[in-house]
Structure 1
Amino acid sequence: MHNQASTPGPSRASRRLRSAVVTLALGAALFTTGAVVLTPDANTTTAAEATGRPAPARGTLGALQDRVHHVPQDAGAWAALGMAYVQQARTTADPGTYNRAEKALRRSLAAQPDDNTNAQIGMGALAAARHDFRTALDWARQATASNPYNPVAYGVLADAYTQLGRYPAAYRAVQRMNDLRPDAPALARASYTFELRGDTGQAVTLMRRSLNAASTTGERSFAHAVLSTLALQSGDARQAQREAQAGLRQAPRDSALLEARARAQAALGNTRQALADYRAAIAIAPLPHYLLGLGELQQSLGHPQEAEAQYAVLRGQEAIRRSGATPADTDAILFEADHGRPAQAVTMAQETLRARPFIAVHDALAWALHRDGQNREALRQADHALNLGTRSALFLYHRAVIHHSLGDDTAARSDLKTALRTEPHFHPLHAATARALLQRIDDTS
């Protein structure tokens, strides 16, 4: 396995840090860039001792805050603190923490303006976390230029290219990342390139390798969450439950694992446990896809008041998003299309697509257009969403309904059968609708 210390030509910035651990975040079964946690190296520790203060315990937010307070010119510590804030915001759903992250990263860049690869990586990860993927790409390119041998920089580059719909470029960046250091984050991204192209078997194999290579609880938790999702997407709800449970034994308060287990429990018909897991995940991080999942499960169970309580929170989150003028995520678009105003969902999706031409956004726009009665354009977007061969039962269901609305029941039947064969319980509400629609088409043919 390669490592940065043994690769030729490292920059000054890479020598300032001993290690970089990438914690990935998975939402709606799609990658967005996670936080990059950077820790001070031996040079930083020596500087701390020179001040007469021992170096703090490494890797904790409090220790990093103490470090930059007493050694304010430590660019590496500021970069690490910025990344710690990004990760804190991602796990607590507190967007205000991103402002603290940006301040810390800019302090790092001020202290070391040139060849500050880790701060550049951090700024790229921060931009991606804010769903500003064009800015993330700019920072990732700066990072790979300042240190072409830093694998973490290529991870941020790959994530930005993916979300911008530049898939061949993303695959090349992932390959470069693995060539430099085939560790857990690199293998996880390699897994995702195969998931995007519909090769679930290879995606599972590589994610299992990522799990075996994992060196932190966060990396192991992420791998188990993805493996649970991949199992569920292949129709194996029991395996999905086992993967989530295995992760929760090590990280019982990991919200992504709780949400993964909730979806598996729902697919198995264990709705009481599914509701409990959703609530536990939301108590830790009220992320939109958790709220939407719980609300739609409650609605499917005939609990409209409980569902509306989740939808009210989602509407509040959407109001906050609009005030900040940030692009909507796919969960917000689909929620608006299904539970709000479809015309508004179309507008939201079109705005997001301009900033993030990713397949999931094409699918969300397709569904919003359908709900707004614009089925011909909806079909074009739905086809675009499935161009890579992605095995998504939800995408296929959306296209099936659009085909049916256009009078093409042959195509609708094909998509419905594939969706239900791939993942029989792909959605609390739409899976039942898909079965009913397929039955109606078969009865009239």
Structure 2
Amino acid sequence: MKLVVQVKLLPTPVQAAALEATLRACNEAATWVSETAFERGEFKNFALRKQVYSEVKSRWGLGAQAAQHVIKKTCDAYATLKANLKAGNLGRSGSRRYRRAAEKPIVFSPQGAQPYDDRMLSWQIPDRTVSVWTVAGRVKNVAFTASPEQLATLALYRKGESDLLQRDGMWFLNATCEVPEAPLNTDPVGFLGVDLGIVNIATTSDGEIMAGRELNRIRVRERGLRAKLQKKNTPSAKRRLKKRRRKETRRARDINHKIAKHVVAEAERTGRGIALEDLTGIRERVRLRKPQRAIHSSWAFHQLGAFIAYKARKAGVPVVHVDPAYTSRTCAECGHIDRANRVSQAWFACRNCGFVDHADRNGSRNIRARAWELWRRGAPSTAPAPPQKPGSGAGRKRSITPSDARCASRSL
């Protein structure tokens, strides 16, 4: 399976200036290619290359490989935009949001990421340095830092492209690694049910509760601080907002990684599979009061489910997604369904048999039972390979680079 290992570069000021100039030139070229493709209606890689390749090389001083990657990055961005429009992710056809995305060419941020192949970037992993092509020539001995696990993964499994990106004044390389998978456990002894929630991020059928109260308190405090800084609207307030803008996201991502790692390790140790709720479209299905909307929207349940899925696939643990309907109202002992069974957010008390339990643990037991029933009927593991996005080719980790996912913006 393909995984991305992110390492932090430690360039000298001269090296950083060369890297910054390279990203700026590549993204300016990508924006020009985007405008040309939009005007001519040509979004296929090889056809577009015939029209803009020579201009990209001569005008911005890019090498042959860099020019080709710039053109392909642009085509991949349009392929992703087309898929999002078709899927309705940018609103209904004819809506204001849809028209803003579809009626103007894509614009790339000056700090947008740039893909590098092995002709443009070489790794010296034992020395923890890389050699990088730039518009100022080859820059050698650029130091990077990584954990021992990352170094081992890079040394054994690195394969394919790497993406150079700048974020908040720091430099990173995202390296693609082809990591082998463990054989899938086709005969699990049972399932570990996991109930996902807002107050308790994850509750297992073994009774283990991974609470999110501290995270929610931090989110409320951060939201209040952001409101104060936005209201103040001074230069110093804007600097503080920019500095803190990704802090909450990084914290939540770290917590989700730790929870996913723990859940998968427990299932692997006990020879069980993992049962999760299928929460696709939950934000559209659930109606909430206005004070609850911010908390509900900031809950990264999809991210946690994705982390569990890929870690389980790596470990050979089967994952089954079940219908979450009425799992919070159903008694795990007698199967009685009643809205009144859910006494409060924390407690469940069955009106039929008198069974009392923690509400989330009761729900996780229902999820476990449904997954076991589906597995006995022949349901496959729902931890497949990461989906390929439009425009991806064989052997590539994805169709677009982080510049398209995080740094490409549409001109409004």
Using structure 2 for the length normalisation, give the TM-score.
0.26
Larger RCO of the pair (alpha carbons < 8 Å, separation 6+) = 2
More helix by share: 1
Larger radius of gyration: 2
Using structure 1 for the length normalisation, give the TM-score.
0.24
